[in-house]
């Protein structure tokens, strides 16, 4: 239940932020938040994370559906997992579903968080769902390393 609550929070926050961008920032326009370091830049990503494989939207829509289904099954079997694992899986599930909603609604994912220091040193645009997926995967990896360290040290 904890994982599903986290997933639902991620989905709601992700969709609310994307809706605000879609309604207030024209596509391909930029709005500075902290000078040029942090900007809102409204783009539509038809590929994977960071714009990889643009135009493969159908593939990624299918992949997102499969990934969400697999995560739900994993959550069912992870009922006795630690709170950290449950929260991590909820972050990944919420992010996957948030981006899936975009693919079904717009045919591409709405990205808008634009971070960098100049026009040449910028991270690819991303969104709240991408951030949740990244944080969830990092937490799962850290948890895995912690468990692995315990097993090998005994």
Please indicate, yes or no, if residue 152 is contained in any of the structural domains: no
pLDDT digits (tens, 9 = 90+) for 49-66: 655 666 666 777 888 899
Q: Which of 76-80, 87-91, 98-102, 115-119 has the lowest mean pLDDT?
A: 76-80
Q: Exactly one of 14, 102, 111, 114 is catalytic; which is it?
A: 111
pLDDT of 128 over the 70 cut: yes
Please indicate, yes or no, if residue 151 is contained in any of the structural domains: no
Q: Is 111 marked active-site? A: yes
Please indicate, yes or no, if residue 150 is contained in any of the structural domains: no
pLDDT digits (tens, 9 = 90+) for 86-103: 999 999 999 999 999 999
- Please state, rounded to an integer, the average pLDDT across all residues of the chain: 88
H or E element that contains 93: helix 83-106
Please indicate, yes or no, if residue 81 is contained in any of the structural domains: yes
Triad 113, 2, 148: Cα angle to 5°: 85
Q: Exactly one of 14, 102, 114, 130 is catalytic; which is it?
A: 130
Please indicate, yes or no, if residue 8 is contained in any of the structural domains: yes
Please indicate, yes or no, if residue 120 is contained in any of the structural domains: yes
Q: Is 14 marked active-site? A: no
Tokens encoding 118: 């100049």
The boundaries of the domain holding residue 89 are: 2-145
Distance from C-alpha of 140 to C-alpha of 50, rounded to nearest angstrom: 21
Domains: count for the chain: 1
Please indicate, yes or no, if residue 128 is contained in any of the structural domains: yes
């Amino acid at each position: 239940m904890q994982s599903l609550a986290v997933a639902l929070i991620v989905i709601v926050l992700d969709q609310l932020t994307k809706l605000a961008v879609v309604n207030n920032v024209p596509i391909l326009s930029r709005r500075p938040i902290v000078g040029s370091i942090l900007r809102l830049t409204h783009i539509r990503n038809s590929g994977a994370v960071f714009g990889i494989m643009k135009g493969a939207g159908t593939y990624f829509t299918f992949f997102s559906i499969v990934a969400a289904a697999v995560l739900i099954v994993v959550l069912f079997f992870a009922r006795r997992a630690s709170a950290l694992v449950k929260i991590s899986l909820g972050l990944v599930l919420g992010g996957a579903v948030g981006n899936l909603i975009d693919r079904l609604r717009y045919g591409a994912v709405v990205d808008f968080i634009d971070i960098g220091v100049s026009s040449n040193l910028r991270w690819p645009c991303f969104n709240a769902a991408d951030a949740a997926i990244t944080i969830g995967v990092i937490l799962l990896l850290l948890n895995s390393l912690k468990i692995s360290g315990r097993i090998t040290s005994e």
